[in-house]
């Protein structure tokens, strides 16, 4: 399979390594300094694009690929105010777009656990909060994974209207504390507190390899399909 990489930072390099190990070829490695090189690629040169760039570049990158007829797997966060536009364009172009805030298989199972726990905790008087920790190079806060977790909790807890990023704190909103430390790949802690006890669930990534493998597996799955997809489609959960 011929893969175009959009974003060639640490995540892009890890994706490249895993893709090559799985027998794929990399037809382009596009970053901020060489974006014009995409124009030299013909529609038939690329089987799928994997996009892990930056929030300010994601929308234009994905739009370009969909108009070129290339299936796109995207994991960039911080641009999702434009997601509805991208999904509309994908359907108009009869294209294929796969998005996940986190490509780790473990995290996607954690998403299911998080929703189930929130459903069980509803109505029992606990206060909900979340902490997410990432490396100092991560530009957006809170993380896309934290937002996905928070939205699921808000769906299941009757007295929650949404989330707020600390130091903002308001009744009826789950507070998310974002920390940027060293080279932490990603830690997410969901907490329920009462006067008598605390319940926590957490996911800690040990490296970027789990995220990269999930992105490559998604890229292997996507070509030949049309529509908008996510990890639930891939994992059949």
Annotated binding-site residue numbers = 35, 75-77, 100-103, 135, 144-145
Indicate the annotated binding residues for NADP(+): 35
Are 11 and 52 in contact, with CB atoms under 8 Å apart? yes
Sequence-distant (6+) residues with CB within 8 A of 98 are 71, 72, 73, 74, 218, 219, 221, 222, 228, 229, 230, 234
Q: Hey, what are 172's tokens?
A: 């009826």
CA distance 52 to 72: 11
Give the residue numbers annotated as catalytic, written as ranges: 134, 138
Distances (CA, A) of 76 to 12, 45, 176: 11, 23, 20
Q: Strand pairing of 187-193 and 198-204?
A: antiparallel
């Amino acid at each position: 399979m011929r893969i175009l990489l959009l974003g060639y930072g640490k995540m892009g390099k890890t994706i490249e390594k895993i893709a090559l190990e799985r027998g794929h070829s990399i037809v382009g490695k596009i970053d901020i300094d060489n974006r014009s090189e995409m124009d030299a690629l013909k529609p038939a040169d690329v089987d799928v694009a994997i996009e892990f760039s930056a929030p300010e570049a994601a929308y234009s990158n994905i739009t370009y690929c969909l108009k070129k007829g290339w299936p796109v797997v995207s994991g960039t966060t911080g641009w999702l105010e434009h997601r509805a536009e991208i999904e509309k364009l994908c359907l108009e172009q009869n294209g294929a777009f796969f998005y996940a805030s986190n490509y780790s298989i473990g995290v996607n199972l954690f998403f299911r656990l998080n929703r189930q726990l929130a459903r069980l905790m509803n109505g029992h008087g606990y206060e909900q909060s979340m902490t997410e920790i990432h490396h100092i190079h991560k530009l957006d806060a809170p993380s896309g994974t934290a937002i996905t977790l928070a939205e699921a909790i808000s769906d299941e807890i009757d007295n929650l209207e949404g989330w707020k990023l600390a130091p903002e704190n308001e009744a009826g909103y789950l507070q998310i504390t974002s920390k940027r430390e060293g080279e932490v790949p990603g830690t997410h802690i969901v907490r329920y507190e009462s006067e008598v006890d605390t319940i926590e669930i957490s996911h800690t990534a040990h490296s970027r390899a789990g995220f990269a493998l999930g992105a490559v597996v998604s890229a292997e799955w996507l070509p030949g399909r049309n529509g908008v997809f996510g990890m639930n489609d891939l994992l059949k959960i």
